[in-house]
Amino acid sequence: MVLERLGKALYGALQKLARAPHLDEETVRELVRDLQRALLQADVNVQLVLDLTKRLEERLRKEVPPPGMSRREHAVKIVYEELSGLLGKPSSFELKGEGPTVVLLVGLQGSGKTTSVAKLAYHFRKRGFRVGIVCADTFRAGAYEQLSQLGQKAGVEVWGDPTAKDSVELARRGVEELRKKCDLILVDSAGRHKEERGLMEEMKRMVEELKPDEVMLVVDGTLGQQARDQAEAFRKVAPLGSILVTKLEGTAKGGGALSAVAATGAPIKFIGTGEHLEDLEPFSPP
């Protein structure tokens, strides 16, 4: 998996830095080359890599370590801070204490959103929470049937109405129906395209009507650097609270997707790493 390879490469570069007898110009240059190679191989945007390494070089040359910290230890800290800024920092998903937490999931068609809804439901049910799913997709034929089957596998209730035409009203009804039964309500909206104004406007109305505790964008990890445009388009319409990146198990573009999405400012909270319900992990940067 690309994230494991990236993590090993970054760890190797830091280990080499930690073992260096002196933190001189040659050590800094070698560190920068190692980091550039690892990030570019993971499809991280070239300009982002150049900006990162420029900041690194400047900080490593100019900053003075605080009392009690060696130059080498301070250098490792600087590298970690800059990489965290590029790939995103760990951000946990917390359920609120009173009443159900309502999460609206949005994303492009084919991003793996509906499967991700079931994975999230399974993830939290296994941790002892009462989880319900609302199918608010009136656009795609068979959406409710697919989600019902996935919900059955995940062991959670799925609410929907295949005859409904108004997705916003459908979502509202579903949340009200599950409110007293659940700690977490996941609302699966229709997959949409950033150029489809009608569907994007519908998503905006759904956010205004539901006032969800969080809007989670599901992004296809195989898009690589193009994921940034997608995330930016959705952020203009809805207040993105977090991001779930899918399909990272079989792509060499994972670093590009993660860095592009992290550049939007919305934290990545989960990543999908396979086709099975249990193939979902809280995001921890390499």
> Residue 139 burial by CB count (10 A; 0-12/13-18/19+): exposed, middle or buried?
middle
Looking at residue 154, what is its pLDDT?
Answer: 97
pLDDT of 2 higher than 60: no
Task: Please indicate, yes or no, if residue 94 is contained in any of the structural domains.
Answer: no
Q: Are residues 273 and 188 in the same domain?
A: yes
**Are residue 108 and residue 63 in the same domain, yes or no?**
no
Residue type, 27: T
% residues pLDDT > 70 (the chain): 90
My answer on whether 53 and 182 are in the same domain is no
Q: How many domains does the chain have?
A: 2
What was the pLDDT predicted at 277? Answer: 96
Tell me the pLDDT band of 148, cut-offs 50, 70 and 90.
Answer: very high
Same structural domain for residues 77 and 111? Answer: no
Residue 139 lies in a domain: yes
pTM: 0.79
Q: How confident is the model over 73-88, as pLDDT tens digits?
A: 888 888 888 887 776 6
In this structure, the answer to whether residues 138 and 57 fall within a common structural domain is: no
CATH number of the domain enclosing 140: 3.40.50.300
**Same domain membership, residue 50 and residue 106:** no
Tell whether 124 and 243 lie within a shared domain: yes
Average pLDDT for residues 205-233, to the nearest whole number? 87
Query: Could you tell me the residue range of the domain that residue 78 belongs to?
Result: 2-87
State the CATH number of the domain containing residue 44. 1.20.120.140
Same domain, yes or no, for 63 and 144?
A: no
- Residues 9, 37: contact at Cβ < 8 Å? yes
- pLDDT band of residue 127 (cuts 50, 70, 90) is very high
Residues 25 and 113 in one domain: no
Tell whether the model's pLDDT for residue 103 goes beyond 60: yes
